[in-house]
Structure 1
Amino acid sequence: MNEIARKLAPIAKDQAEAQYREAPNNLEAEQALLGAILVNNDAFYRVSDFLKPVHLNEPLHRKIFEVAGDIIRMGKIANPVTIKTFLKADEKVGDITVAEYMARLAGAAVSIINAEDYGRAIYDLALRRSLITIGEDMVNIAYDAPLDMPPQSQIEDAERRLFELAETGRYDGGFQAFNDAVALAIDMAGQAFERDGHLSGISSGIQSLDARMGGLQRSDLIVLAGRPGMGKTSLATNIAWNVAHAYEPEVQADGSFKARNGGVVGFYSLEMSSEQLATRIISEQTDVSSSKIRRGDISEAEFEKLVGFSQTMQKTPLYIDQTGGISIAQLSARARRLKRQRGLDCLVVDYIQLMTGSGKSSDNRVQEITQITTGLKALGKELNVPIIALSQLSRQVESREDKRPQLSDLRESGSIEQDADVVLFVFREEYYVKNMEPRDEFDPKYEEWKQKFESVKGTADVIIAKQRHGPTGTVKLAFQAEFTRFTDLADPSFTQYEEH
């Protein structure tokens, strides 16, 4: 028995020490940084782009750093005298007042040369504390095994929290100061001024559409809907390729890359295989019809054109996921992984009705669609990327004389219409007029039909039925059915925007 007790003694000691382990922090580094800032306010700007008050471990140090930052941003001097007014007068640090404590910090400061190193050390320790919190939560939830959180849900939740931590250095969300939001808005305006086309969003590559939408706005859920045969998938692949092909990376101060123009695109193709999608894009860009490519009915010159373009495609940051019936949770997890590993600036989902919700299978499809659209909107905000989600329209369009789609035509439309920031309908009158061709070419109505067909041939309407940031209306585009390609109309007189 004594032998067992002797062997268990070190284990018990280790467990006792583990229970009282202090979260990683460096009080001296925090003191040194604050001292440097109080002596020379320039030290604040060496760390302010990555270090926030929440990253400091000591509550008093957080308050001093926050107040000092506010004073410095207002163009005033932050020192022990100006800061003490904003702190509690009766608060003490041991036997001395807070004012005396700040005076000591300033007195002990030597220079601001090492301010950034101190800031980095504090930031890294804050990340480690956050990792410990996430890890402890994972362990506790796994032990408790709550019924409403199966293991797969726990994995997705942990991955989401880790992604937020990797992207922003914190994962607790919460309120954002209005002056921070204003600064972001000004930055966005500056980027729009420098970007090609002066767009606040990412260019879709179709100028007449960009002119009305200002590009694809980050964090927006853009629903692109249409009846079968209207070309909604074609328009989505056109935009996806244009964005990826225009990608120009820009190196940031921390060594990461950011898109100056264009962007990295993730394409969820739930309906078509990656090979079919690639064939479409090749056809669009090489003027070789996809039917000829599939049959192998191409000339040597066309084959060389295909090979040449395939080399261009290999360098283009367009990533395709062809998993059918993917859930919103799986889609979100894969999108986070793509952004973390390769970057992500735009996401395309083809299409909403082929996705599944994250919960149990439900007979109520409307509730499931609500869960999907709410999840897509939340994902767009989390990743700060525009999400283009394709959607079907109900058959009631076909029963009307006027086939132009309306918001009420969206299938399970309540949540789609509500959650979307932008709703676009693709409408090709040519498709319907062609089906009305009289069988007898000597029919008196044949000439009338022919004139009507010629007037709509090769054109398409993109109806902006909803837009939070601008007006609704219709943009006329050219459509080449053979190559499934949407472009701006060559004749500027046709590019007039019809506002509603």
Structure 2
Amino acid sequence: MNDLTAVKPASDVQDIADIMPHSIEAEQQLLGAILTNNDVFDRVSSIIGPQHFYDPVHAEIFEIAARRISQNNLASPVTLKPFLEDHAGLAELGGPTYLVRLAGAAISAFAARDYAQMIYNLAIRRELIGLGQNISSKAAKVDVDSEPREQIVEAEQHLYKLAEQGQAESGFQSFLKAVTDAVNVANAAYQRDGGLAGVSTGLVDMDKKLGGLHRSDLLILAGRPSMGKTSLATNIAFNIAKTYKKGALPDGSEGAVDGGVVGFYSLEMSAEQLAARILSEAAEVPSEQIRRGDMTEAEFRRFVEAAKALEACPLYIDDTPALPISQLAARARRLKRTHGLDVLIVDYLQLVRPATAKDSRVNEVSEITQGLKAIAKELDIPVIALSQLSRQVENREDKRPQLSDLRESGSIEQDADVVMFVFREEYYKEREKPGDHDLDAMAKWQEEMEHLHGKAEVIIGKQRHGPIGTIELSFEGQFTRFGNLVKPWQQGSGGNDF
């Protein structure tokens, strides 16, 4: 071992050792094992990456070896030499002959995983030390703009990233890794029935248009009051939670193979009211009857049975009012860490508070939407945020909403990956009922109402990775339930999925 470390002056090595925990010897032994037996790489690749090596030259050697092995090419001192011949760092260690010395001092392949785990653990310790120093220096600096509460949330965020990914900052990644991730997503969609890349909403036509709910996406679901925004959100949450199945994912980790764990921020309604809505849908008992306790024995039995069936559903509700965006993010991280989290729903965006008061409402909403998008990317989950629409919709002849109707439109429209509008023409037509004396108008109105009854539209106004357009759904008002609308040509082949 001494000949390998002799290149660096002993005093320098000692100085570095005093600063950060590391083991140059463990890195050398592991690299030597990989260069003499490429099968070792498969055993350790799930534990460590180039970023976990303390010596940047070792990180470079590992990365080049990993690329060659993943392309089914040999990684040995001879094949790696052309890639590292002009490497300044390697020249300090003795040039390409250093690779031969690494291979010559290789350990047994059986010990490789232990060394890999040791290197990983030391890398995490270095990250923790760096994070601790950062927290300490920020806390020591008394600044008006840096509140202790914000510092706690920020520290928790960095610790979460460290726990989940093993590194506080991911930084730049190679295009090769990005392409590999994209291929894996496409392969998952290809293998899955129905060709969905994301989590299924349980609504067939919506899944076809969106391809499911994609990870790291921010989806805005907007509409005027009484259009059914919350109902649609609870329907989607219930559909995802009730189909949840846990299993082994393609990358070897455990997670949701179907459905998912849902987090629901209900800033407007209480958890009990939201649960009553979901029970109304599941038990097919009108929600107003549940509120009044006005149920027949059969309905009450259905209600209790539905409640028992839903007990095991991984649906978590937080009904704390006026949550700041920083707290919302912290609680979502905690939920993912403790119970898992596959989809997050926020009802609704305008009720979330910014972390700090801004000079204008537009800036506040901008901070909230950017915060929600950051949560989606950080936790690698789809985030559905409900949003109110401005009153200008009511002044138009055609009441169908459009992007310009979003309140504080700029930031919401800009930050969202998907913007959807819930629209029920039946609601507006109902308010146009003519007087009983005008028989012709009444007959026409009744015909139009018949045509519109039980139908709803979800208009996709923006979608970053797919088409815009309209999705037709069924709507049962008494159960606050959206479903798959049976088209005329499907009448003979089965009914509504619900």
Give TM-score, length-normalised by structure 1.
0.91
Contact 2:90 2:96 survives alignment (8 Å): no
Q: Residue 248 of structure 2 contacts residue 257 of structure 2 at CA under 8 Å; is this kept in 1? A: no
Q: 2:135 matched to which residue of 1? A: 138
Report the CA distance between 1:19 and its aligned residue. 12
CA-CA distance at 1:75 after TM superposition = 2.4
- Following the alignment from structure 2 to structure 1, what is the Cα–Cα distance between the partners of residues 385 and 335? 18
Equivalent in 160, 180, 188 of residue 183 of structure 1: 180
Quick one: distance in 1 between partners of 2:154 and 2:336?
Answer: 17
Is residue 308 of structure 2 the alignment partner of residue 317 of structure 1? no
Is the alpha carbon distance of 1:21 and 1:98 closer, same or farther for their aligned partners in structure 2, counting shifts above 3 Å? same
Q: Name the stretch that deviates more: 113-122 or 62-71.
A: 62-71
Secondary structure of 2:169's match?
Answer: coil
Matching residue within 409, 412, 416 for 1:416: 412
Partner of 1:388: 384
Per-residue displacement from partner, 1:418-440 (whole Å, max 9, x unpaired)?
11111111110100111111231
Q: 1:52 aligns with which of 46, 49, 53?
A: 49
Q: Distance in 2 between matches of 1:363 and 1:472?
A: 35
| Superposition map of 1:99-498 within 5 A | 99-251=96-248, 257-359=254-356, 361-440=357-436, 443-493=439-489
CA contact (8 A) 1:265 1:345 kept: yes
Structure 2: how far apart are the matches of 1:155 and 1:485? 41
Q: Report percent identity of matched pairs.
A: 53
Contact 2:343 2:382 in 1 (8 A): yes
2:28 aligned residue (28, 31, 51): 31
Match 2:62 to one of 60, 65, 68: 65
- Asked if 2 retains the 8 angstrom alpha-carbon contact of 1:440 and 1:446, the reply is yes
| Matches of 1:493 and 1:139, distance apart in 2 | 67
Question: 2 CA distance for matches of 1:96 and 1:422?
Answer: 52
CA contact (8 A) 2:219 2:418 kept: yes
Deviation at 1:449, TM superposition (A): 0.7
CA deviation map 1:347-374 (0-9, x unaligned): 1000011111111x23411110011111
Displacement of 1:72: 2.0
Q: 1:6 corresponds to which residue? A: none
- Provide the C-alpha distance between the structure 2 equivalents of 1:423 and 1:214, rounded to a whole number of angstroms: 14
Equivalence for 2:11: none
CA contact (8 A) 2:84 2:90 kept: no
65-74 vs 368-377, which moves further: 65-74
Pairwise CA RMSD:
2.2
Matches within 5 A, 1:1-20: none
- Provide closer, same or farther for how the CA distance between residues 102 and 134 of structure 1 changes in structure 2, counting only shifts above 3 A: same
Specify the code of the residue in structure 2 equivalent to 1:114. A
Compared with structure 1, are the counterparts of its residues 317 and 332 closer, same or farther at alpha carbon in structure 2 (3 Å cutoff)? same
CA distance in 2, matches of 1:18, 1:131: 19
Report deviation, 1:490.
2.4
Cα distance per residue 1:405-457 (max 9 Å; x no partner): 11111111111111111111111010011111123165331101110111101
Question: Partner letter of residue 132 of structure 2?
Answer: G
Per the normalisation by structure 2, the TM-score is 0.92
Partner in structure 1 of residue 9 of structure 2: none
Q: Distance in 1 between matches of 2:217 and 2:88?
A: 46
Instruction: String of CA shifts for 1:160-210, please: whole Å, max 9, x gaps.
Output: 111111111112232111111111111112222333422011100000111
Alignment gaps of 5+ in structure 1 = 1-16, 496-500
Q: Structure 1 CA distance, aligned partners of 2:17 and 2:142?
A: 26
Aligned residues: 478
Runs of 4+ in 1 over 6 A off after TM superposition: 17-20, 92-96
